[in-house]
């Protein structure tokens, strides 16, 4: 090649500059590249054949994404002696679809709960079902029913759950569910989005896979979309990686980098989320215009003992049913001044959602009501604001109701 000083302006514009090496970056860099170069063709062949470690294409792997994957795997398996592994995806729902399609095939079945996030329910019913995979939804808190269902349908190869659930905050006995799954030769997976590994470590209770919408509490700032699939053993990685690579459900360096930044403050954020949510739940429980409060930290919660056993704190999520149904629920949300009405959760600010008209809009009314998702139910993702300000805002909003 000609000396760089003698290249034309057009060529010099196109060529990347040499890397300046004057110390290691203090902050994780963003590797914004779609592909990677090699010293020679032999080097390329060795990487493609797997004889040498290296990157090929950012749909397969990327240094920024891999750094965050390794961090998530380590955090999820902290103090367990497990050799966990993580694969990031483009969203929470892509994590679920990628995971399920990596583990199951036509003729297999999934056992899950009735009070599941609406989007997950739709994935199972509208997408996964097209591949000959049947979904059975029952009350997973009933261990007798769970065992009877597993015994009746030997095609069940996956038990999939959320705990606490979205949006009713029901808590399942993770250890018992995992044990039953394994007794009937099914794997057990849990969506741990609400709790994060800071509050709850499903691997400690025998779960095989942990899934996340990393968009939520793990990031915490509402500025990116990402998902994560974490397996308790690295031997389980390749099957998921092959599916992610071929479906193209990979994450990207920018969203991974934003998640990495959010993780730095996870512990301090979660402590404040939990503290605020507990105080607000207690306030709401005593309010005459609130029929019911769903928060695992309340002793009145049906699954409080389960949460107490497997969670270090009770999380930043709650839901409550306002007396008066749909119209009063909508009026409450419109009356608030500090809370944002938005279809997400886990941000540093307080967020409201009306499940019946949003996340569970496409779930038949009789199904959602049977699961406690009534027309007057409001979901609240409690932020890290000063809690007295939040309670004052909630108070004035409830007082304005007829």
Question: For 195-298, where are the E strands, in sequence order?
Answer: 209-213, 227-231, 290-294
Tens digit of each residue's pLDDT (9 = 90 or more) over 111-155:
999 889 989 999 999 999 999 999 999 999 999 999 999 999 999
Q: Cα(206)–Cα(325) distance, rounded to whole angstroms? A: 40
**Which residues partner with 354 through β-bridges?**
none
CB distance 347 to 272 below 8 Å: no
Side-chain-facing half-sphere of 112: CA atoms under 13 Å? 25
Of 122, 307, 84, nearest in space to 203 by CA: 84
Tens digit of each residue's pLDDT (9 = 90 or more) over 327-348:
999 999 999 999 999 999 999 9
The domains spanning 43-263 and 266-399 adopt the same CATH topology: no
Average pLDDT of span 244-272: 97
CB distance 65 to 251 below 8 Å: yes
Does domain 266-399 fall under CATH 3.90.1150.10? My reply is yes
Q: Band the pLDDT of 59: cuts 50, 70, 90.
A: very high
Going by DSSP bridges, is the β-strand pair 134-138/340-341 parallel, antiparallel, or unpaired? unpaired
* Domain positions in the chain: 43-263, 266-399
Average pLDDT of span 182-201: 98
User: In this model, does residue 2 exceed pLDDT 60?
Assistant: no
Helix (H, G, I), strand (E, B) or coil at 361: coil
Cis peptide before 164 (omega within 30 of 0): yes
Going by DSSP bridges, is the β-strand pair 134-138/109-113 parallel, antiparallel, or unpaired? parallel
User: Which range, of 126-140, 240-254, 354-368, 376-390, averages the lowest pLDDT?
Assistant: 354-368
Tens digit of each residue's pLDDT (9 = 90 or more) over 205-224:
999 999 999 999 999 999 99
| pLDDT of amino acid 19 | 67
Q: Cα(337)–Cα(382) distance, rounded to whole angstroms? A: 14
Q: Cα(170)–Cα(207) distance, rounded to whole angstroms? A: 18
Give the tokens for residue 164: 């606490």
| H helix count then E strand count, the chain | 15, 12
Q: Sort 19 into a burial class: Cβ within 10 Å, 0-12 / 13-18 / 19+.
A: exposed
Tens digit of each residue's pLDDT (9 = 90 or more) over 34-52:
999 999 999 999 999 989 9
Cis peptide before 279 (omega within 30 of 0): no
pTM here is 0.94
Q: Cα(97)–Cα(92) distance, rounded to whole angstroms? A: 9
Give the tokens for residue 363: 């779930």
Whole-number mean pLDDT of the chain?
94
Helix (H, G, I), strand (E, B) or coil at 378: strand
Distant-in-sequence, close-in-space partners of 355: CB < 8 Å, separation ≥ 6: 118, 167, 319, 368, 373, 377, 379
CB distance 297 to 304 below 8 Å: yes
CA 389 to chain centroid, in Å, comes to 28
Does domain 43-263 fall under CATH 3.40.50.11540? My reply is no
Helix segments in 89-204, DSSP class H: 92-103, 118-122, 143-152, 174-183, 196-199
Buried b (16+ CB within 10 A) or exposed e, 267-278: eebbebbbbbbb
Going by DSSP bridges, is the β-strand pair 377-381/156-162 parallel, antiparallel, or unpaired? unpaired
Q: Band the pLDDT of 23: cuts 50, 70, 90.
A: confident
């Amino acid at each position: 090649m000609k000396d760089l000083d003698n290249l034309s302006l057009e060529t010099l514009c196109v060529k990347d500059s040499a890397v300046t090496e004057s110390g290691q970056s203090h902050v994780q860099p963003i590797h914004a590249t779609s592909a990677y170069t090699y010293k020679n063709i032999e080097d390329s062949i060795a990487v493609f054949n797997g004889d040498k470690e290296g990157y090929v294409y950012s749909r397969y792997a990327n240094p920024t994404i891999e750094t965050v994957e390794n961090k998530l795997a380590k955090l999820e398996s902290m103090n367990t002696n497990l050799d966990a592994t993580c694969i990031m995806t483009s969203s929470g729902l892509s994590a679920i679809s990628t995971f399920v399609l990596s583990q199951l095939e036509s003729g297999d079945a999934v056992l899950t709960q009735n009070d599941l996030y609406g989007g997950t329910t739709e994935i199972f019913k509208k997408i996964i079902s097209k591949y000959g995979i049947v979904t059975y939804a029952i009350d997973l808190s009933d261990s007798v029913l769970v065992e009877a269902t597993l015994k009746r349908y030997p095609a069940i190869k996956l038990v999939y759950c959320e705990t606490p659930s979205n949006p009713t905050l029901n808590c399942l006995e993770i250890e018992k569910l995992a044990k039953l799954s394994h007794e009937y030769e099914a794997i057990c997976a849990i969506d741990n989005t609400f709790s994060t590994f800071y509050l709850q470590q499903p691997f400690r209770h025998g779960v095989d896979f942990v899934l996340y919408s990393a968009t939520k509490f793990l990031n915490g700032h509402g500025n990116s979309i990402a998902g994560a699939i974490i397996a308790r053993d690295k031997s389980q990685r390749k099957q998921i990686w092959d599916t992610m690579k071929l479906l193209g459900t990979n994450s990207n360096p920018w969203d991974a980098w934003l998640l990495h930044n959010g993780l730095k403050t996870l512990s301090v954020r979660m402590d404040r989320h939990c503290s605020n949510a507990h105080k607000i739940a207690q306030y709401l429980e005593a309010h005459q215009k609130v029929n019911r409060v769903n928060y695992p930290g309340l002793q009145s919660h049906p699954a409080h003992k389960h949460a107490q056993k497997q969670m270090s704190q009770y999380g930043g999520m709650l839901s409550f049913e306002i007396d008066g149904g749909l119209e009063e629920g909508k009026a409450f949300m419109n009356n608030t001044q500090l809370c944002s009405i938005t279809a997400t959760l886990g941000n540093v600010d307080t967020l409201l959602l009306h499940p019946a008209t949003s996340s569970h809009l496409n779930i038949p009314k009789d199904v959602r009501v049977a699961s406690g998702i009534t027309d007057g139910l409001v979901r609240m993702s409690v932020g890290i604001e000063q809690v007295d300000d939040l309670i004052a805002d909630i108070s004035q909003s409830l007082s304005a109701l007829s």
